[in-house]
Structure 1
Amino acid sequence: MKKRIKIWFHSGATSDIREFSIHKVLLGFIILIGVFAIGGTSFVGYDYLRLKNVLFNNNSLNQTIHKQKNEIKNQRTQIQSFAGEIEILKKQVDNLSKFEDKVRLIADIKQTSNSSGLIGIGGIPTNELDPDIPLEKKQTALIREMHQQINQTTFVAKKQALDFESLIKQLEEKRNLLACTPSIRPVKGWITSKFGYRSSPFTGQKEFHPGIDISNKSGTKIFATANGKISYAGRKMYFGNFVVIDHGHGRVTRYGHLKKLLVKRGQKVKRGDVIALMGNTGKSTGPHVHYEVRINGTPVNPLNFILN
């Protein structure tokens, strides 16, 4: 006899309690179907949630990848821009070196050390600066080349700075030398006696004239022909009122037969300063100035030191 299961339930419409029976196998099948339905529903729900999570992660990953690509692109642009700036810097350093060479040429100052130019430093390959280079291509070689060129350019720039310091010092020395070198006429007028051997206007005998004589009317202004310091201002035998200017560097100028002295011993003067008035004092045949230029004590032709 097949087993059946009795089930009682209360009817909502009446107060009667009803009873029906169901086969045990059928009940088991119904329960099994329910279990499978619940399991299937749970699996579908879990799979849905898992897929949804994967999709979210994929979207997040795509955003990260897109962000990283933009960062790589920006970094590559910055690297290429930096490489271009290195090239500009190299040109500027090279131009400074050429400018230094030009200044030395004009000032007649020789280079005491080896050239500080960018000789031997190659340029950055132009194909490495192409903005359309695929992001997948590494630019390790470009970065390595940039580091090398930065180091070389830094070294050259430091040496260039030292060279400019040396050049400025030499220019300063040369400027001081030029400022202390006689270069203008000491007075307006006419040259009546030149440098060298001549017949003495007093004895008629041959004698050495260590300067030049420039004539003009009495009282004409006499100028210092270079920067210097008055080493003598007073009367001197044969030269009458006499002025001597020590210009340094072994350079000295002498002015004789002056009417009036306008400077004192120890006074500093600059080229073009009025130091005296033309006269006829001492052993003289008329108003003029006797002008001498001496280098390390030796008289030289003053006409070689008159540029105006």
Structure 2
Amino acid sequence: MAKVKYYYDSDTLSYRKIETKKGSIYKNTILLLLAGVLLMFIGFIVFSQFLKTPNELVKDRELENLKINYELITKRVEESSKILTQLQERDNNIYRAYFEANPIPDEQRKAGFGGVNRYEYLDGFENSSMIKKLTKDIDVLSKQMVVQSKSLDEIVALAKEKETMLASIPAIMPVKKSDKMWMSSGFKYRMHPILKIRKFHKGMDFTAPKGTPIYASGNGTVALARRSPTFGKVVYIDHGYGYRTIYAHMSKIATRRGRKVKRGDLIGYVGNTGRSVAPHLHYEVHKNGRAVNPIYYYYGDLTPQEFLAMQIAAEEEGQSYD
């Protein structure tokens, strides 16, 4: 119940009840309502900055999730880039060096990302700089992976070629080691047994009984298989890669011109044909048209001790057998 208010009337010298007019009541009520509405509106404006709709809350969660995924992807790109860099270093310094291939320069590995603004289409977004950086990093990584993939394809091809080359290089003795075979003349100046003059002996002589098998020392193609005044029955094998071997003074040829042979294939038998004074095999190795010392091409047959013994024997003075 509302309180009754009074005022002092000086004319009557008494307290009189204050009467409130109905118009004032209505007016005050309306003002009070307007003030309440105004306060509610201001409050809504202020607090709406902190209150979000369900759709806005969903979008905020999606944005936060995207940022987390962006950080994870960025980290994985960085880790992949580090792994690729290590592979590139091994590729240049080990793989390509081993197969005598030129290293791939960094300019070639990372080429194609300068000049025109290729990421202009990503401008205008709230996080454009972040998106452009990640896109560029992925593009650079993809380009480097393509270059590295092509390099590995080249290495595989070189490895296959290297395997073929290693199988072709003369690497075994043309006659098998036995008690009845020994090396009698090495790669040096020696007295010729028939001409009686000092002449450079371009190969090695292996004395063995007539009919001892002779084998190809590496893969190749028979270039010549014939009889000559000097070498008698002789076989020439072209191994490719600049290598050629000669097998002379055979008693019988067991191959023919144009035939493909593999290391260890039978090509003839020890004899005493041509300009020779006893049954033996005269064996030569040529590299790029020049005779080289065959002793360095027996690594597939000799132990270090046997190699040293043969090297000492090859240096002994004496005359050759042809």
Q: TM-score range by the shorter chain?
A: 0.5 to 0.7
* Amino acid in the other structure paired with 2:84: V
* Amino acid in the other structure paired with 1:303: I
Matched, 1:95 2:86: yes
| Counterpart secondary structure, 2:175 | coil
* Amino acid in the other structure paired with 2:240: G
| Counterpart secondary structure, 1:271 | coil
Q: 2:270: which partner in 1?
A: 278
Stretches of structure 1 lacking an aligned partner (at least 5 in a row): 1-57, 119-137
Matched, 1:70 2:70: no
| Post-superposition offset of 1:192 | 0.8
Q: 2:188: which partner in 1?
A: 196
Distance 1:172 1:218 in 2: 39
Matched, 1:80 2:80: no
Matched, 1:143 2:131: yes
| Counterpart secondary structure, 2:217 | coil
Matched, 1:181 2:173: no
Counterpart pick for 1:251 among 214, 218, 243: 243
Q: 2:41: which partner in 1?
A: none
**Change beyond 3 A, Cα 1:115–1:272:** farther
| Counterpart secondary structure, 2:255 | coil
Q: 2:151: which partner in 1?
A: 163
Q: 2:279: which partner in 1?
A: 287
Distance 2:191 2:174 in 1: 24
* Amino acid in the other structure paired with 2:137: Q
CA-based RMSD = 3.1
* Amino acid in the other structure paired with 2:247: Y
Q: Check conservation: 1:94, 1:117, Cα contact below 8 A.
A: no
Q: 1:297: which partner in 2?
A: 289
Q: Check conservation: 1:259, 1:279, Cα contact below 8 A.
A: yes
Q: Check conservation: 2:203, 2:282, Cα contact below 8 A.
A: yes
| Post-superposition offset of 1:245 | 0.6
Distance 2:200 2:269 in 1: 26
| Post-superposition offset of 1:166 | 4.2
| Post-superposition offset of 1:145 | 2.3
Q: Check conservation: 2:207, 2:279, Cα contact below 8 A.
A: yes
Matched, 1:239 2:231: yes
TM-score relative to the length of structure 1: 0.64
* Amino acid in the other structure paired with 1:223: Y
Q: 2:216: which partner in 1?
A: 224
**Change beyond 3 A, Cα 1:80–1:113:** closer
**Change beyond 3 A, Cα 1:113–1:236:** farther
TM-score relative to the length of structure 2: 0.62
Q: 1:18: which partner in 2?
A: none
Distance 1:191 1:164 in 2: 45
Distance 1:167 1:238 in 2: 45
* Amino acid in the other structure paired with 1:87: E
Distance 1:225 1:114 in 2: 43
**Structure with greater Cα Rg:** 1
**Change beyond 3 A, Cα 1:112–1:179:** farther
| Post-superposition offset of 1:269 | 1.1
| Post-superposition offset of 1:199 | 0.7
Aligned residues: 233
Q: Check conservation: 2:99, 2:155, Cα contact below 8 A.
A: no
Q: Check conservation: 1:240, 1:283, Cα contact below 8 A.
A: yes
Q: Check conservation: 2:97, 2:103, Cα contact below 8 A.
A: no
Distance 2:235 2:269 in 1: 11
Stretches of structure 2 lacking an aligned partner (at least 5 in a row): 1-47, 111-125, 301-322
